[in-house]
A and B are shown apart, each in its own frame.
Chain A
Amino acid sequence: DAGVIQSPRHEVTEMGQEVTLRCKLISGHNSLFWYRQTMMRGLELLIYFNNNVPIDDSGMPEDRFSAKMPNASFSTLKIQPSEPRDSAVYFCASSLGQARSGANVLTFGAGSRLTVL
């Protein structure tokens, strides 16, 4: 398995532009997590899906952020309009199960580094 695949790996955009980050889950996994990492705040959970349904979006910063799972293997995180403070590395992770088992393990992608000028 190729693991969790994220694209693009790097994105540089100007303030006000729309940004779309993409994630392909590991085949057979049914839970999807979007995290954001900055020097100041570390790794923060933005949103979590189980079986394509958003379960917890309390970490989504504001209405400019939205995430979807159009199918069981793919997710997008959209920022519109983007702002310089959104600059960060965005990680997608997937797992098998609803995180109810102590054995539940998250597999992370390589991340998408976003720079908003």
Chain B
Amino acid sequence: DAKTTQPPSMDCAEGRAANLPCNHSTISGNEYVYWYRQIHSQGPQYIIHGLKNNETNEMASLIITEDRKSSTLILPHATLRDTAVYYCIVRVPGANNLFFGTGTRLTVIP
């Protein structure tokens, strides 16, 4: 699976949009981009995934660049409960492992 690069930490004001970047410049054509998050003392939680097109669900939006070498996870209105470590993962269908890396620690500030 291609490797990802994420900033180690970010802050976001409560109520504002949180934009979390991820670089995956070596991504191959059949690799999906997944986002998970881990709130303190809990198990990782799936957020969203995509291949080429932008995706949106009740939790977040995923914007993938046209060349697919980077993506951005958007939490439209961050709350204090969104404080967590966010992991960007690229993965080939059929791969057994999810390599979590170090992620981005997002702190939502009141």
Do the two shown chains form a genuine complex with each other? yes
Return the CB mask of A87-117 against B: 1 if under 8 Å, else 0: 0000101000011111111111111000000
Interface residues on B, range: 10 to 19
Of B43, B46, B93, B100, which is in contact with the most chain A CB atoms at under 10 Å from its CB? Answer: B43
From B42, B96, B101, give the contact of A111 (CB < 8 A).
B42
Partner of A100, one of B42, B44, B93: B93
The 7 A-B pairs of least Cβ separation, nearest first, read: A108-B43, A43-B100, A100-B94, A102-B32, A102-B93, A105-B46, A48-B96
Cβ-neighbour of B98 out of A56, A100, A106 (below 8 A)? A106
Which residues of chain A come closer than 8 Å to B75, judged between CB atoms? none
Q: For A43, list chain B residues within 8 Å (CB).
A: 44, 100
B105 contacts A by Cβ under 8 Å = no
Complex Cα spacing A99 to B96, Å: 6
With a cutoff of 8 Å between Cβ atoms, the chain A residues found around residue B43 in the complex are: 4, 91, 93, 108-111
Minimum C-beta distance from A100 to chain B (A): 4
Please give, as numbers and ranges, the residues of chain B lying within 8 Å of A55 by CB-CB distance. Answer: 96
Residues in chain A within 8 A of chain B (CB atoms): 4, 42-43, 45, 48, 55-56, 91, 93, 98-111
What are 14 A-B interface contacts by the 8 Å CB criterion?
A4-B43, A42-B100, A45-B97, A56-B96, A56-B97, A91-B44, A99-B93, A102-B51, A102-B93, A106-B46, A108-B43, A108-B44, A109-B43, A110-B42
Q: Is B102's CB within 8 Å of the partner chain A? A: yes
Q: Find out whether the CB atom of B96 lies under 8 angstroms from the CB atom of A108.
A: no
Give the chain A neighbours of B49 by CB distance below 8 A.
Answer: 102-103, 105
A45 to B102 alpha-carbon distance, docked (Å) = 14
The proximity string for B residues 57-73 relative to A, scoring 1 for CB distances below 8 Å and 0 otherwise, is 00000000000000000
A42 neighbours in B (Cβ, 8 Å): 100-102
A99 in contact with B95 (CB, 8 Å) = yes
Find chain A residues with CB under 8 A from B53 CB: none
